[in-house]
Structure 1
Amino acid sequence: MLWSVVLLMMDPVRAKEEPVERTVLEAVHVVAAPIIEANPVDAFAAQKTLLTQEQMEDLNAHDLQTALRRTPGVTISRYNPVGSFGGATGGAIFIRGLGSSRPGAEIKTFFDGIPVYMSIWNHPLLDLLPIDPAQTVEVYKSPQRHLFGNAFGVVNLVPKTAPQEGFEATLRAAYGSYGTLLVRGENGGSEAPWSYVVSGAYQRSDGHRDNADGALGNLYGRVGWHLNPHWKVYALTLWNDNYADDLEAKGVSPNRRQGRYETRLWLFSAAMTNECEKASGFFKIYRSGGEGDWLDQPSSTARVREDLFNDFLFYGFKARERFALWPGGEIVTGLDWDRTKGTTRLSSPMGRKMYGTGMISPCFRHT
């Protein structure tokens, strides 16, 4: 024990007599764009991942799956080069393993904070969410009820806005393997106090195998009015019409092919926003409705094909206001009123029919 104490007392002296030589590395400057834009954390310790238009262009993304395929914590699945067959493995996203349950409510999808998913089965249909009109994609990987309510994970598309001043227009076209065609057009402008954006896109592909074809088409429009430097109003609309065929697994009888999945959406929203020194927020009304139809699917009898028609509808209003009353502090208030309903109908040549309706009315959520 005595010798240990002596050695410990000698160590500091030895360190002073023999200075350690340090090597300083040259600075490394990273100039390439990251695979994501950022992982910001808000005042309530809620984190989200941001993917901007720049990253989507660098990834040569043409839909939501290809845009998120390199986002940490997100995995994707798909069958076809263009189009998502339903909302399961044929075209889906999974956030930290969540998103595989059916019927599922683990992951919710939004466009400008407006719900866009199949209300009957309560899971996303990714073809309803085109990235062409999206300026930013937000991915929330954990429950954040003060923002979106009942969901373990959320993907929200932030729509494009007009340029700060002047006018601009773009037109892009691409053609590739398997007869794949992509056309996108956009025009936007600002002239005080008005601003506008209109865009449209169409893409199709014959697919890499038989019955792997699909097509996506969408139109988007937004008009805004600056009442004054602090208050703005805007209205936007999104329409799309899509389909994807099932290519069936290799070695499986063609009679077991799952047919075609068609999706359609028409969304409308109007909002008033404010941005002041001590307060900011919005009031928004919306309507989001569409279809997710599974056509020509096999029945219990292999030679008989059936059609399943599903309709969904969301409408209501959302209000939110944030107050920054003291440095480092924030108070958030809000009120959501959402109404959800949908119908499902099975049509079969065998005479077997199924009808169903579902409705939640009203649904309140306050913050």
Structure 2
Amino acid sequence: MFRLTPLAHACALLSATALPNLAQAQATALPPGSIERLPTVQVQAARGQQVADVDLPASISTVWLDDDVNGNLAQIADALSGVPGVVARDRQNLAQDTQLSIRGFGARSTFGVRGVRVLVDGVPATMPDGQGQLSHASMLSAQRVEVLRGPFSALYGNSSGGVVQIWSADGQAGDPWRVRMAGGSDGTLSTGAQLRGEQGPVRYNVAANHFRTDGWRDHSAARRESVNARLGTDVAGGTLDLVLNYFDSPDAQDPLGLTREQVRQDPRQATAVATQYNTRKSARQAQAGLVFTRTEGAQTWRAMGYAGQRSVEQYLAIPPGPQANPLHAGGVIDLEGGYGGLDLHWGWQGHWAGRPLEVVIGANADQQQQDRRGYENFVGSELGVRGALRRDQSDRVRNVDQFAQAFWQWAPRWSLLLGVRHSEVRFRSNDHYITARNPDDSGARDYSATTPVAGVVFHASDAWRVYASAGRGFETPTFNELGYRADGAPGLALNLSAARSRNLELGTKWRGSGGAAFEAAVFRADTDDELAVASNTNGRSTYRNIGRTRRQGLEATLLYPISTELEASLAYTYLEATVRQPYLVCASTGCATPNTTVPAGSRLPGVPEQQWFGRLQYQPGAWQWAGEVVASSDTVVNDLATDSAPGYALLNLEAARRWTLAQGALRVFARVDNVLDQRYIGSVIVNDGNQRYFEPGPDRRYSVGVQWAWL
């Protein structure tokens, strides 16, 4: 049974009672004016399937990143704050990237993205093992971000608790070029240029960005350089798109987490060992993707290939003492390798039994080859430098998947979407660091799963849909999670099983005139063999399977144009993420054998129970004014729930002014975040062994910027 708060009950009732009233109000609403009404986007529920988002039996949100976006466009967390079901947290630590989870999937991640699939212009940013990155996604060249939640996420394969896709705009004749500069508190500066348009047969969108900051916390300075390009042309009766990306982030400082007492004393401080060992991370990536699409009559073919190289070097705060163990892998992580893959599918549109039918079948194969080395982080008495080799292995993971789906409008008011995906994921590791006291730790593990999904939509009216969907999903451990055994023994954690989930969703969607929209959904996901953090000490995490868990709740979002110049948007999430089967944990540092029970019904750490978002935007003529409220309930930080990050509510304000000149358009903007200067915890580190669970959010922050666009 769902146990919802009164506010959640109110949101559920709204879907049944408010829609007729809203529809009546919209029938007499003023026509669109100053506020731009964005078109309905054709969203890919799975690769190759294109159906209007309102007609899909799934929760889908689209965030548009147009020329009126304020802020420095540095992280995707800024764009996702108003999407229900999504937790996108800026860690104030660019060495660890954005903390992203969807409906509780991915909340355990201490760095990067896990449990959520990420794609950039159709090219996977999630590797075959389920580990993903958001840092290289260019917000300057992006046109929109799509977020898919619920059962149909499984059609994207392994680790699809949700799907985030970032899409760059396709260059067209007459598109403006623009330069943009924004600066603000803590020495933050973002400069970029975007060239977009059409030259002869080539459509282009090229964006370059430089970002730097001294960081709000001590020892958190960072710099990022990125270039993203999308080039397209018509060839052989279809379209050919080349997607290029380069990203470089050298020596991003890592302030590490803080204890509760450290937060109370000074939330801006870095942990002492962070400066002692100069904890930092460098990341560099270059990749290219090629996409060919051709439509001929009722058939569509699409072929995509991509390849890239990525290197990561990270210095951890592990003391020399533990590294005296001959089985220890050292305090410096050095990863380097390549990745690539192919994706092919074929689609057909026609009729069956006199009703519209669309069928898509396809397959994809992906591979990641990674050389993983570990070094001591000291030489003699000097700390924070690369020392002796302690680990040397070659890791390879590959997947081969096949999928099929069919969309059939089997009656004037009813439609059905069916899909199935079969995935095989293979891990291989060859150990090259073998000594008399360090045995051969080579190993292999294979995982496979078949994940069916189904959804039905009832067209209650031209503007109103009601749907239900169900499906299965699975999530393998990543290579980082397989890298260390929870019992401290040598070798990979090959005893880890894949988590498998059963997902249900019931929802409603409404679209009114002038851009008004309302959506609500209740959902449940039951997971077996949940993957969870076993220990998190000295910057190193180990994992294990803890049994059965449940995530259930409600989401609701409303976009409502009050007038031609005034628009309101609201989003609410209630998420109850709990343990369904008791398990044992260690209750103290140094414990070798778990001895304390986590009872059934306990909250999963890293998942806030409630989230709210509200935005009111007023756009009279050339001016733009906006206010936002972002709020979250408390977040448990460890399995035993002995500590938690308190809830918070933040107020943000924006202002902008545009001048249209003969030579182009000039836009000046300003933003104040956390206007009331609240103290709060921005993100948490789940199950940190040193009880440094907390990454504080910043106090009042200012930013100003200018953008010049010309044809």
- In the alignment, which residue of structure 1 is the partner of 2:392? 355
Quickly say closer, same or farther: Cα 1:77–1:292, change in 2 above 3 A.
farther
Quickly say closer, same or farther: Cα 1:144–1:311, change in 2 above 3 A.
farther
CA distance, structure 1, for counterparts of residue 365 and residue 397 of structure 2: 11
CA distance, structure 2, for counterparts of residue 181 and residue 59 of structure 1: 11
Deviation readout 1:254-296 (Å, 9 max, x if unpaired): 125571122221110112112345233411111133123322x
Q: Higher strand proportion, which one?
A: 2
CA distance, structure 1, for counterparts of residue 182 and residue 348 of structure 2: 47
- In the alignment, which residue of structure 1 is the partner of 2:87? 75
Please state if 1:235 is matched with 2:242.
yes
- In the alignment, which residue of structure 2 is the partner of 1:254? 272
The number of residues matched between the two structures is 335
CA distance, structure 2, for counterparts of residue 118 and residue 183 of structure 1: 30
Quickly say closer, same or farther: Cα 1:100–1:63, change in 2 above 3 A.
same
Larger mean CA deviation between 152-161 and 233-242 belongs to: 152-161
Deviation readout 1:60-83 (Å, 9 max, x if unpaired): 643111111221111122332xx6
Native 8 Å contact 1:256 1:302 kept in 2: no
Q: Post-superposition shift, 1:59?
A: 6.5
- In the alignment, which residue of structure 2 is the partner of 1:196? 204
- In the alignment, which residue of structure 2 is the partner of 1:41? 53
Amino acid at match of 2:349: A
Percent same amino acid at aligned positions? 18
- Superposed, 1:1-367 pairs within 5 Å as 27-29=28-30, 32=35, 41=53, 45-54=57-66, 57-58=69-70, 61-80=73-92, 84-86=94-96, 91-102=98-109, 105-117=114-126, 122-144=130-152, 147-150=155-158, 151-163=160-172, 165-166=173-174, 168-227=176-235, 231-243=238-250, 244-248=252-256, 249=258, 250=262, 253-256=271-274, 259-295=279-315, 297-301=316-320, 306-326=331-351, 327-348=355-376, 349=378, 351=388, 353-361=390-398, 363-367=400-404
Amino acid at match of 1:49: S
Q: Post-superposition shift, 1:346?
A: 1.2
- In the alignment, which residue of structure 2 is the partner of 1:3? none
Amino acid at match of 2:375: S
CA distance, structure 2, for counterparts of residue 241 and residue 162 of structure 1: 25
Amino acid at match of 2:345: R
CA distance, structure 1, for counterparts of residue 109 and residue 366 of structure 2: 23
Q: Post-superposition shift, 1:35?
A: 11
Larger mean CA deviation between 30-39 and 332-341 belongs to: 30-39
CA distance, structure 1, for counterparts of residue 59 and residue 299 of structure 2: 22
Amino acid at match of 1:131: M
Q: Post-superposition shift, 1:52?
A: 1.5
- In the alignment, which residue of structure 1 is the partner of 2:658? none
CA distance, structure 2, for counterparts of residue 324 and residue 34 of structure 1: 30
CA distance, structure 1, for counterparts of residue 339 and residue 212 of structure 2: 29
Quickly say closer, same or farther: Cα 1:183–1:60, change in 2 above 3 A.
closer
Amino acid at match of 1:308: I
Quickly say closer, same or farther: Cα 1:238–1:323, change in 2 above 3 A.
same
Deviation readout 1:101-139 (Å, 9 max, x if unpaired): 35974112111222224667x433321323222222111
Native 8 Å contact 1:318 1:336 kept in 2: yes
Flag the structure with more relative contact order, 1 or 2, with Cα contacts below 8 A and sequence separation at least 6: 2
Amino acid at match of 1:363: V
Larger mean CA deviation between 271-280 and 233-242 belongs to: 271-280
Quickly say closer, same or farther: Cα 1:328–1:42, change in 2 above 3 A.
farther
Native 8 Å contact 1:59 1:67 kept in 2: no
Q: Post-superposition shift, 1:167?
A: 5.4
Native 8 Å contact 2:153 2:163 kept in 1: no
Give the RMSD, CA atoms, in angstroms.
3.3
Quickly say closer, same or farther: Cα 1:66–1:302, change in 2 above 3 A.
farther
Native 8 Å contact 1:84 1:126 kept in 2: no
Q: Post-superposition shift, 1:47?
A: 3.9
Q: What are the ranges of 5 or more consecutive residues in structure 2 without an aligned counterpart?
A: 1-23, 44-51, 324-329, 379-386, 405-711
CA distance, structure 1, for counterparts of residue 347 and residue 94 of structure 2: 38
Q: What are the ranges of 5 or more consecutive residues in structure 1 without an aligned counterpart?
A: 1-23
Native 8 Å contact 2:254 2:274 kept in 1: no
Give the secondary-structure state (helix, strand or coil) at the position aligned to 1:255: helix
Amino acid at match of 1:360: V
Amino acid at match of 1:124: G
TM-score (norm 1): 0.79
CA distance, structure 1, for counterparts of residue 174 and residue 162 of structure 2: 38
Q: Post-superposition shift, 1:171?
A: 0.5
